[in-house]
Amino acid sequence: MPSRDFPRVRLHVVTGKGGTGKSTVAAALALGLASEGSNVLLCEVEGRQGIARMFDVEPLPYDERRIATGLPGPEGERGGVVHALHIDPESALMEYLAMYYKLGRAGKALDRFGVFEFATTIAPGVRDVLLTGKVYEATKRNSRHKGAITYDAVVLDAPPTGRIAQFLGVNNELAGLARMGPIKSQADSVTKLFQSASTAVHLVTVLEEMPVQETADGIAQLREHDLPVGGVVVNQVRPRDLDDDDLSAVRAGQVTKRKVAADLSRAGLTGSGEMVLGLLAEARDHAERRALEDTQRALVEKLEVPTYELPLLVSGIDLGALYELAGLLRDQGLA
Amino acid sequence: MNASPERITGTPQHRPSRARTRVGPRALTGGRTLDVDSLIDDPHTGIIVCCGSGGVGKTTTSAALALRAAERGRKVVVLTIDPARRLAQSMGIEVLDNTPRPVSGVSPRSGRGGSLDAMMLDMKRTFDEVVESQATPEKARQILQNPFYIALSSSFAGTQEYMAMEKLGQIHADAQRSGAYDLIVVDTPPSRSALDFLDAPERLSSFLDGRFIKLLLTPAKGPARLMTAGFSMVTNALTRILGAQVLRDMQTFVAAFDTLFGGFRQRAQKTFELLQADGTAFLVVAAPEPDAMREAAYFVERLSEDDMPLAGLVVNRASPVPQGEVSAEEAMAAVARLRKNDPDSLTAGLLRLHADRVRMVEREARLRSRFEAAHPEVPTAVVPALAGDVHDLAGLRQIGALLAGERPT
C-alpha cells in the first residue's frame, strides 16, 4: 500500500536536524509503508549502523537484509517486508565500477595508487554521488533485473537538514565539474529522479526554535533546487496531560495548594507539602514549554506543507515503540 | 554569584535531604564533577575545544563558556561554526567576514578586565585566504579559478574540519604575537563522525604524500618516460571513468597547488600538536540520549587514543529533577484513583506529568551511569534543560552558571 498522502512517491527521503530523531522516523515510516504484500527498503548512508541498533540485529553489511515484518493492517492483515541496506561509499564505488567498467587489473592499480581512498574521502562530492547513486539504483530497479529484490518504496535515512540539499543536489555540482562524459550522464539521471514526483523529502523537527528555523531554511533550500518537499514530521511532542483550561489555570496561578493537597490525600498519597509544591512547579514549567511548543507549531503550520505529529516516548525507543510510531504515521496518512 | 572554585567542588548543590538522592544529577554521577570555573580561570588553559555529535548544543555550550570566561577576566575569542541566527545576532556575528568581532554587552566583574570577541567560520573564505597568503598573486588567481578548487573549497565534506583547524592555528598564532587573546574557545563542525575532525591533519598529510598526487603531477611535471606501466594504466582507467576534462582540471589544480602543499602539511601538523599540548582542553558535549551518549563515548576513546587532553563531559538538556518522593508507579496509581471520580481531574494531569518526568530522569540517569561505568575518569557537568530557548547573552550567562554548577535556589 503506498503512502496515502504521497501515493506516487517511491523514494521517501527523511532528513532533520541532529537530535530530532530522523532515523527513528525513517524506520517507523518504513514499517508503516510495508503493508501486506509490499516490500520496503530502508537505507542508511552515514555509517552509523543506526538501523541495526534500532532493530536489534547484527551490524548491516553492504547487502539488502530482511530485518522486520511491516506494520499489520487495520484488520490485522499481516504486514509486508522491510529490508535494510547500509550504504558505504567504498562498496558502492566497487559495485559501480564492476557494473559499468570492466577494469580488471587496472582496478587493482587504482586501489594501489590510493585513487579509491581519494575518491571516497577527499574528492569533492564523490562520496555523496556514490551514496545517492546506490539509492537511485535500488529505487529504479524493476522486474527486468533478474534475481534482485524490487521495492514498492525506498526510505532513505538521509544526512541532516543542513546538508540535505547539497547531498541530493551535489550531483549538479559534480556534473558541473564534469561537463560531459560518463559521470555527467549518471549524475543527470540521479538528479532527474530526485527532482521528480517519485521522490518526496520529509523533514523531521521538534517544537523548538532552532530546529523549526532550520526546517524552514531547509524547505526553502529544497525548493530552490527543485527538490520535492514532502511533509514535516513534528517529533517528540510533549504529552497533553493538561488541557488548555488546565494550562491557563496553571499560568494564572489559580491552582491552589489546598486543592492539590486534598486531591492527593483522596488518592491515598499522604503527600508532604513539598510534593504539592513540586507538582505545581512542574506544572508551571510544563505550561511554559507548552506555550513555546504552540508558538513553534504555529510557525510550522505557516510552512504550508502537510504536518504529522509523533509523541515524546518517555521510556525511549525500542522495536515496539517503532511499530507504535509507524501506526501513528499511518493513521495520519504519511505511511 | 559567588563562584570560587572551592565552592563549586566543595559543596555541590545539595537538594533538600528528603529528595531521593538517586535521581539527583550530581548525586547520580557518583563520579567526578567537572569543575568548569577552575578550567576557565586557569591561565594555562589557552584553548578549549567543544566536540560532540550534531544537535547536542555544542555551539551554545561554547558561547556560554566563552562568555563566562570573559566575565571572569579572560581575554576570550570564540570561534563558532554555525550558530542559530538569533544567537549570532545577539553576539553581533551574523555577518560572515571571517574576522573576530567584539561582542557588546559583556560585563566583566570589576577589576578583572576580561573581553569577548566572536567569529563565525567561513570555510571557503578561509581556504581562499590560505591560498592567497601562500601563493604569488598570479598563481593564487589561477588556483582560485580552477573548477576543481571551487568544488573542493565549497563542498568537500571534510573542508569545514580542515578550515576550522586552520583558523584555530591562525588565531592562536596571532594571539601569541599580539596578546589580544589568552583563551580561544572552538566549536567544532557537526561531523558525521569524530574521525572527520581529528583525522583532518593526518588525512591531509597522507593524501599529499600519496602516490595519487604524484600520479597527477607526473604529466605536468616530468617527461613521459617516467611513467611506469602502472601509471599509464591508472591514467587510462581514470580517463575512461572521469572523462579527460575532469582529469585535466584535477591535474592543473594539483600542479598549481603543489608548491603550497608543504605549507599546508606543516600547518596541519602544527595545529595537531597544538591540540595535544598542555594548554588545550577538550570538552565532549552530549545530550542524555542513547545516540549522543554513544557518540560521546566514542569521542572520549578517540581523544585518549590520540593523546588529546580531555577535560570532561558536558551533558546538556538534562530533564530537571522532580521534587518530592513519589515514584512514577505511585503517581500513576493515584492517577487511576483520581480519574475514577473525576475523569478531568487536574491533579491527575499533574501526577501524570510527574510520572513522566521521573521516568525521563531515571532513563537519563541510567545512560549517564553506563557512560560513567565505562569512563570513570571523565569528570562530568550536567546542565539541566531550560524551559525556553537560548538566544541572548542573558541566556548564555544562565547556561554558563549552570555549567559551573550553580543552581537557582
CATH number at residue A309: 3.40.50.300
Domain total in chain A: 1
Nearest CA in chain B to A124: B156
User: Do residues B314 and B284 touch, judged by C-beta distance below 8 A?
Assistant: yes
| DSSP secondary structure, A204-256, as one string | EE-SSHHHHHHHHHHHHHHHHTTPPEEEEEEEEEPP--S-HHHHHHHHTT-S-
Residue with the three cell numbers 599509464 = B232
Please check whether residue A134 lies inside any domain of the structure.
yes
Taking alpha carbons only, the member of B285, B274, B267 closest to residue B308 is B274
The gap between the terminal CA atoms of chain B, to the nearest Å, is: 12
Please report whether residue A142 resides in a domain.
yes
| Chain A residues with CB-CB distance to B363 below 8 A | 314-316
For the stretch A5-47, pLDDT in tens is 999 999 999 999 988 999 999 999 999 999 888 999 999 998 8
Contact: A103, B237; criterion CB under 8 Å: yes
What is the pLDDT, as a whole number, of residue B29?
Answer: 45
More confident residue, B37 or A271: B37
Which of B292, B376, B303, B393 is closest to B58 using CA atoms? B292
Q: How would DSSP label each residue in B104-137?
A: TT--PPTT---EEEEEE--HHHHHHHHHHHHS-H
Strand pairing class (A39-44; A81-86): parallel
Please tell me the distance in Å from A85's CA to the nearest CA on chain B: 18
**Chain B residue with Cα closest to A316:** B363
Mutation site, A167, A210, A257, interface B, largest B CB count within 10 A: A210
Cell 599540548 appears where?
Answer: B277
Express the helix, strand and coil content of chain B in percent, nearest 5 each: 60, 10, 30
Separation of alpha carbons A298 and A77, rounded Å: 37
Cell of A81: 517486508
Which residue segment(s) compose the domain that A179 sits in?
11-240+303-332
Considering only CB atoms, B346 lies closest to which of A17, A246, A274, namely A246
Digitized pLDDT (tens) for each residue of chain B, 409 residues in all: 443 433 333 333 333 333 333 333 444 445 789 999 999 999 999 999 999 888 898 989 999 999 999 999 999 999 987 777 777 877 877 776 788 999 999 999 877 789 999 998 888 888 899 889 888 899 899 889 888 788 777 765 567 777 888 889 899 999 999 999 999 999 987 765 555 667 766 776 677 777 777 777 775 444 554 556 677 888 888 888 777 877 888 888 888 877 777 777 788 778 888 989 999 999 999 999 988 999 899 899 989 988 899 999 999 999 988 887 889 999 999 999 999 999 889 999 999 999 999 999 999 999 999 999 999 999 999 999 987 778 889 999 999 999 999 976 5
For residue A245, is it within any domain?
no
Hey, what domains does chain B have and what are their CATH numbers? 27-403 (3.40.50.300)
Residues B89, B95: contact at Cβ < 8 Å? no
Q: Most A CBs within 10 Å: which of B346, B358, B361, B386, as the mutation test of the A interface? A: B346
Beta pairing class for B183-187 and A65-69: unpaired
Residues in contact with A241: Cβ distance below 8 Å, sequence separation at least 6, in sequence order? B349, B350, B352, B353, B356
CA distances (Å), B270 to each of A197, B169, B170, B172, B274, in order? 50, 8, 11, 11, 6
Write down the pTM of the prediction: 0.88
For residue B33, the SS3 value is strand
Which chain A residues are Cβ-neighbours of B157 within 8 angstroms? 127-128
What distance, in Å, lies between the first and last C-alpha atoms of chain A? Answer: 9
Residue A98: partners with Cβ closer than 8 Å, 6 or more residues away:
none
Q: Which helix (H) or strand (E) holds B79?
A: strand B75-80
Residues of chain A contacting residue B16, judged by C-beta atoms under 8 Å apart: 274
